[in-house]
């Protein structure tokens, strides 16, 4: 798929790493496990760590000089310096995973000189591999994908997520949700921002919005949406890097959704 030989190799290794980590997660599903808490409702399990170890190991063996930014912090990785940095969420949707709900994913992005050039979102349970290389389109299992054509929010199916601070500061988030749910055809909440972005990219959802996201949540899916013909901004229609609050749409309903959330 990638025309540039280097990016082609990066993509091949990234896909291989995602598949290997996905096999680990499927094997780990349903087992009794150790759960730690990064916050009241922000979980990390031994499965997250095993997946991350597999991802970093596969990529590092192929590209030993590359740097990493990973969700489950590793000081030895953060000290590396390179023009190439892999941004990894080894298990997006940990709460889903813990409860046996099969909507969880692996998100991988590759930055080259501070610009994301490659994005991968893999859904192990569904065996769906979403990939994108900058300037070359977005794909699902090697078939090209495009965002939807919905032009009105009243005929759109949207998706969202709630921030981890929802228990302490729910008023603004719920007021925002109330405005959107009354305007849209329907709204879903699947618990994985990477999946939500991938599904916007392939037209299953017409738009996505969420606050308080991290770079590893959105880096891979962000490129999927833009390469599939969609638009990604923050809540004020701006864009400086990857925003922590994100609105991603097919482009046609972008302004309508922004007017509801901002």
The full set of domain ranges for the chain reads: 5-144, 153-261
pLDDT at residue 39, rounded to an integer: 46
- Fold match, 5-144 / 153-261: no
Averaged over 185-213, what is the pLDDT?
96
Pairing of strands 186-188, 157-160: parallel
pLDDT at residue 115, rounded to an integer: 94
165/100 Cα distance (integer angstroms):
23
CATH for 5-144, among 3.10.20.30, 3.30.70.260, 3.30.540.10, 3.40.50.150?
3.30.540.10
pLDDT tens sequence across 54-101: 999 999 999 999 999 997 666 556 567 899 999 999 999 998 998 899
Query: Where does the pLDDT of residue 43 fall: very low under 50, low under 70, confident under 90, or very high at 90 and above?
Result: low
For domain 153-261, the question of CATH label 3.40.190.80 is answered with yes
225/174 Cα distance (integer angstroms):
26
132/118 Cα distance (integer angstroms):
6
pLDDT tens sequence across 106-156: 999 999 999 999 999 999 999 999 999 999 999 999 999 999 999 999 999
């Amino acid at each position: 798929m990638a025309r540039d030989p280097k990016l082609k190799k990066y993509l091949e290794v990234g896909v291989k790493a995602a598949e290997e980590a996905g096999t680990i997660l499927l094997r780990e599903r349903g087992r009794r496990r150790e759960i730690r808490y990064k916050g009241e409702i922000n979980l990390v399990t031994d499965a997250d760590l095993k997946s991350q170890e597999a991802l970093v190991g596969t990529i590092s063996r192929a590209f030993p000089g590359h740097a990493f930014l990973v969700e489950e912090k590793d000081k030895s990785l953060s000290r590396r310096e390179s023009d190439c940095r892999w941004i990894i969420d080894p298990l997006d949707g940990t709460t889903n995973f813990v409860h046996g709900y099969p909507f969880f994913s692996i998100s991988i992005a590759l930055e080259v000189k501070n610009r994301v050039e490659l994005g991968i979102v893999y859904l192990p349970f569904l065996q769906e591999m979403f990939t994108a290389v900058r300037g070359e389109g977005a794909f699902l299992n090697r078939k090209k994908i495009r965002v939807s054509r919905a032009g009105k929010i009243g005929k759109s199916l949207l998706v969202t997520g709630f921030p981890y601070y929802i228990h302490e500061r729910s008023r603004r988030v719920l007021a925002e949700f109330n405005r959107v749910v009354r305007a849209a055809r329907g709204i879903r909440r699947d618990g994985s921002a990477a999946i939500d972005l991938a599904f916007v990219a392939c037209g299953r959802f017409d738009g996505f919005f969420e606050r308080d996201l991290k770079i590893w949540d959105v880096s891979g899916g962000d490129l999927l949406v833009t390469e599939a013909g969609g638009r990604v901004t923050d809540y004020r229609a701006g864009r400086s890097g990857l925003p922590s609050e994100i609105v991603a749409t097919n482009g046609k309903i972008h302004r309508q959704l922004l007017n509801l959330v901002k």
